[in-house]
Amino acid sequence: MVFLVMAIGLSACSQPEIEKPGETIDLLISNGTIVTMDAEWRVIRNGYIAVRGDRILAIGEMQDLEKRRYIAVTKIDARERLIVPGLINAHTHIPMTLFRGIADDLRLQEWLEKYIFPAEAMNVDRDFVVAGTRLGLIEMIHGGTTTYVDMYYFEDAIAEETRHAGLRAVLGETVIDFPVADNKTWEEAIAYTERFVKKWKNDSLITPAIAPHAPYTVSTGHLEEVSLFAKKHDIPIVTHIAEASTETAFTRKNFKAGPVSYLDRIGFLSDRVIAAHVVHVDDSDIAILKNRGVGVVHCPQSNMKLSSGVSPVNRMLIANIRIGLGTDSASSNNDLSLWEEMDTAAKLHKLINQDPTVLNARQAFSMATIGGARAIHREKEIGSLESGKKADFIVLDTDAPHLIPRYNIYSHLVYATKASDVRDMVVNGRILMRDRNLLTLSEFEVKNAARRYQMRVADSFKNREK
């Protein structure tokens, strides 16, 4: 796949003097329409991206490329294609792809208590997490997600797999007030998380994090401990906040406040926090989230499917809150496609606000890119295509029938583009997918391993019934 070429050869009318050698770069993407998602919303109709190491060295119009005289080790011709920032899935539980569709159309309590918790208790171990992570990774790479935020067990294994596959991730090791798959006590969980954080702290792709499950499953004392832990290690906190009305009832009963004001009172909210869902919040909660710099992750499909409610996204956008999009796990969605999440978000908030101008296509696409980067506090590094930023982007085919004609590029990205239109992926300057072929994982082996787990999980339920 890798071949050495002169990006731009000698000019047709060659000069007698000896040409100075050009600058060597690692990767050149040329001839594509580039949707930068930068502060000026620049769209470059016929452009190039030059990559050196893990970063974008230069980005611009093709007509300016010749004078750069790059010598590129690898080239991708994006003629007739779109180049857009890699998508950011700001909330998922990646190993749960192995539970995709295990139980649907159930009330939250029944879904959790009869299916998800037993399925986890009977099946989740380190090997399960490895197999589920790999399956989620191939789905996300095929679908154009270059960065994801996770919360699960055995995050160290998830980090190993993600590092190997080459994706960027914020990985939050779950801490919770009852025994779970990897750690049986709070102390064990904190000790595990400390080892995990130390191991991955300076990795170029993996950002280790701590993930207290939710205000109703982690005590006040433990949440305070998490805050100190995150500060001490300078890491993000990944959590669920205000997902269901039952949570609000819980915090009102126990702490005389809704989840957001309770968490603020105990000093938990800060610009380290990445909070998923944030459905049941009022204007004073929104003001708190804004003031504390909390990143919010909207998960519309999960919230609809579990009938959790509708997050007031429009009001949060008006308040300029950091807000991104998440698929939640494949057991509550049931896929990891951010394209469908964008499309659903844009449509849902038009409906709920009774106003079709709400959450326009550019805003929705922003939530999956630069907005997602802001939500996870990484907007200086990722989320838009600008020189100096990390080289995380995808190349999209534009030839599928559902992509013709094209009058407006953002409309196209949000309302018509599918995961199946993603052709190439570059993360941290490395090509992870080329012409839809995965370069860092064996799709065949990953799928077979997942199918073996399907049988084991199904058997675990059958055996329980005996």
Of 289-308, binders to a second copy (CB under 8 A) are 301, 303-307
Q: Which is closer to a second copy, CB of 232 or CB of 451?
A: 451
In the structure encoding, which two tokens stand for residue 383, read together? 């989320």
249 contacts a second copy (rule: CB under 8 A): no
Q: Report, in Å, the least distance between residue 451 CB and a second copy.
A: 6
464 contacts a second copy (rule: CB under 8 A): no
Q: Report, in Å, the least distance between residue 312 CB and a second copy.
A: 14
Q: Which of 104, 435, 445, 459 binds a second copy (CB under 8 A)?
A: 104
176 contacts a second copy (rule: CB under 8 A): no
Q: Which residues contact 246 (CB under 8 A, 6 or more apart)?
A: 108, 216
347 contacts a second copy (rule: CB under 8 A): yes
Q: Which is closer to a second copy, CB of 270 or CB of 420?
A: 420
Spatial distance between the Cα atoms of 194 and 230, rounded to a whole number of angstroms = 10
In the structure encoding, which two tokens stand for residue 451, read together? 């199918």
* Count of C-beta atoms within a 10 Å radius of residue 273: 23
Q: Which is closer to a second copy, CB of 268 or CB of 365?
A: 365
Considering only residues 26-45, where is the footprint of a second copy by CB under 8 A? none
Q: Report, in Å, the least distance between residue 142 CB and a second copy.
A: 6
116 contacts a second copy (rule: CB under 8 A): no
400 contacts a second copy (rule: CB under 8 A): yes
Tracing tokens 């995990």 back to the chain, one arrives at 196
458 contacts a second copy (rule: CB under 8 A): yes
3-state helix, strand, coil in the chain (%, to 5): 40, 25, 35
Q: Report, in Å, the least distance between residue 278 CB and a second copy.
A: 16
79 contacts a second copy (rule: CB under 8 A): no
The packing angle between helices 220-233 and 186-200, to 10°, is 20
135 contacts a second copy (rule: CB under 8 A): yes
Spatial distance between the Cα atoms of 396 and 403, rounded to a whole number of angstroms = 11
* Listed ranges 30-38, 183-191, 197-205, 398-406: which one lies at the site for a second copy (CB under 8 A): 398-406
Q: Which is closer to a second copy, CB of 183 or CB of 398?
A: 398
Question: Which of 20, 47, 21 is CA-nearest to residue 33?
Answer: 47
In the structure encoding, which two tokens stand for residue 373, read together? 């980067």
CA 39 to chain centre: 21
Q: Report, in Å, the least distance between residue 348 CB and a second copy.
A: 6
Tracing tokens 């000019």 back to the chain, one arrives at 11
Tracing tokens 């005996």 back to the chain, one arrives at 466
Spatial contact of 246 and 265, defined as CB atoms under 8 Å apart:
no
108 contacts a second copy (rule: CB under 8 A): yes
The packing angle between helices 443-465 and 126-143, to 10°, is 130
404 contacts a second copy (rule: CB under 8 A): yes
Tracing tokens 């790059």 back to the chain, one arrives at 70
